[in-house]
Each structure stands twice: as C-alpha cells, then as structure tokens.
Amino acid sequence: MRTRPLGPGAPAVSAIGLGAMPLSISGRPPESQAVSVIQAALDAGMTLVDTADVYCLDDRDIGHNERLIAKALASWAGERDSIVVATKGGMTRPGGRWEEDGRPQHLKAACERSLKALSVERIDLYQFHAPDRAVPFTDSVGAIAELQHEGKVRWVGLSNVTVGEIRTAQAIVDVVTVQNRLSPFHREALETGVVKYCSDNGLAFLAYSPVGGGRLNKKLPDHPALPPIAAAHAASPHAVVLAWVLAQGPTVIPIPGARTVEHAVDSAGAADLVLSEEELAIISAAEFWS
C-alpha cells in the first residue's frame, strides 16, 4: 500500500487510515464484528487508526473505542509497533451530546484516561479535538504541550482548526497533523487553505468523513459522476471518492470509517487507486448536494 509521511519527525503511514468512530457510536456493531473490522483493516495494510475518548454512546461509556482498539491490537497477529494509534481529547458526551471542553484540567484528566483505555504508557498521536470558544486556545494547546513534555504523548495533532489556529499552536508546540473534514460534499478545507497550508509545511492532513459521513456516503452509488469512473477502474464509488480525496494534496491521508470488514478492505484498496487528471476534474466539477 502507498504510504505518506505522518508529519515532521513522524513515520510514514498508510495513505489511507481507519476512522474507528462508527464502531462505538450509536448504531455500532457487536464487539466481535468491530474487532474483526479493525484487524481486517490492519491485515489489508492500514497502519494508522484514528480514535477519540468520546467515540462512545455517552459520558458513562467514555473510552469505548480506545478499549476496542486496544483489544483488537492485543489479539492481532501483526506487529503492534508498526501501527500508529491517533486519539483525541477536548470533548465530552453529556447525555450523548457532543460538547467541547478545552480546559487544561480536562485535557490532563482525559489524557490519563486514554492512556489506560489504550493500555499504553505513551500515546502515539494526541490530537486536540476542537477549539473550545469558552477557553483560550493557547491554554488548551499549552496543556497538550505539557503532556508531551511529561512523555505521555509522542506527537501532537490538531482538529477542526483554521490556518490561523494552526500557526498559533505551532508557536507553542510541534504540530505534526491537522484533522479536518474533507469530501466532495464538504470542501471547506480546500477553500480556506488548510489543506494547502499542511502540504506547504509538511503536516499530514487527516481528512475526516472522507466519503461524506454516515448519512451522505449512502448517496455515492447513485451520483451520476461516479459509476463510469468506478467501472473503468473496477472499483467501488466509495473507493473512487477516497482516491479523489487523496489527490487533493500530497500530505492528505483520508481516514474513512467502516462497520463491516468488506467496507474496511475496500477503503484500504483505494490507497493504490490513482485517477487520471480528467477523472479528478470530473469529480471536482460535479455538485455533491448534502
């Protein structure tokens, strides 16, 4: 499988990683199936798994996705050290809602919980999940920098940020990755320059919801632009979209979710799918209504 650098000082990882969120939120599959999905993604060559403490049902279930990944890795036949697990802190799930909490004391406690849930002494990649408008951004990033100085976190990433926020964070800590939304339905990361800033500065851009998310991805097979391209490559419409996302910048790494082995393996295969300039232009010019 093609690889891409995870960022300055970090190793190369598979050009497409697994987004593990759908394995732990509402509609999640049975645990045995979820473990099979993670292991199938790794067997297919993915070496990056994205998670978060809040990928769960609600605050009573925090760490569900991290514990699941730890369990899948513990019984996986491959080499654990070849896999980068990226988690996040900075949100909560009261009553199942998604709320930001960027207070330094929350981030410190969340990191301790994630270390336990992942069964590791140091988190590979710790991402600040989303700026909290009630807390100065520099205070939140400062807390994550302290976690790195304490040896609890190897590399630092940001999520749901602007170019201005990336620059602000870089004055405080070495940033290796930025995780924002990017799909043909949602192109704001291209329009606001975040993808370009990442490629210009060697930061990996982890494209979340790359096939549109849990609802919109179901529209892809019916989109008129995709079936001819999919047929030409003997690929699925989802794989074609992942190849388009990959082509949006040299440091873009899509992290599609999956609840079935079939979908995870199909997405892994998209890492080696290269579309022609003409095919890319057709998808770029097409309307994808949400």
Ligand X SMILES: NC(=O)c1ccc[n+]([C@@H]2O[C@H](COP(=O)([O-])OP(=O)(O)OC[C@H]3O[C@@H](n4cnc5c(N)ncnc54)[C@H](OP(=O)(O)O)[C@@H]3O)[C@@H](O)[C@H]2O)c1
Could you give the residue numbers annotated as active site? 55
The least CB distance from residue 174 to ligand X, in Å, is 20
The answer to whether 195 and 182 are in contact (CB under 8 A) is yes
Q: Does 260 bind ligand X (CB under 6 A)?
A: yes
Residue type (1 letter), 239? A
The least CB distance from residue 281 to ligand X, in Å, is 22
Q: Does 140 bind ligand X (CB under 6 A)?
A: no
The least CB distance from residue 193 to ligand X, in Å, is 19
Q: Does 21 bind ligand X (CB under 6 A)?
A: yes
Q: Which of residues 224-253 bind ligand X (CB under 6 A)?
A: 236, 238-239
CB nearer ligand X, residue 197 or residue 208: 208
Q: Does 50 bind ligand X (CB under 6 A)?
A: yes
- Cα 34 from chain centre: 17
Q: Does 7 bind ligand X (CB under 6 A)?
A: no
How far is residue 84's CA from residue 126's CA, in Å, rounded to a whole number? 11
Residue whose Cβ sits closest to ligand X: 19
CB nearer ligand X, residue 97 or residue 149: 97
3-state helix, strand, coil in the chain (%, to 5): 45, 15, 35
The answer to whether 273 and 169 are in contact (CB under 8 A) is no
User: C-alpha dihedral over 152, 56, 38, 130, to 10 degrees?
Assistant: -50
Tell which one of 4, 10, 22, 72 touches ligand X (CB under 6 A): 22
- Strands, E, within the chain: which ranges? 3-5, 12-14, 18-19, 48-50, 84-89, 91-92, 99-100, 123-128, 153-159, 175-181, 204-208, 252-254
Q: Which residues pair with 157 in a beta bridge?
A: 127, 177
Q: Which two tokens stand for residue 55?
A: 């990928």
The answer to whether 118 and 156 are in contact (CB under 8 A) is no
The least CB distance from residue 104 to ligand X, in Å, is 20
Q: Which of residues 151-170 bind ligand X (CB under 6 A)?
A: 159-160
The DSSP output letter for 209 is S
Q: Does 257 bind ligand X (CB under 6 A)?
A: yes
Q: Which of residues 173-212 bind ligand X (CB under 6 A)?
A: 179, 208-212
Q: Per-residue contact track with ligand X, 64 to 103, x per CB under 6 A? A: ----------------------------------------
Binding site for ligand X (CB under 6 A): 19-22, 50, 159-160, 179, 208-214, 217, 236, 238-239, 255-260, 263, 266-267
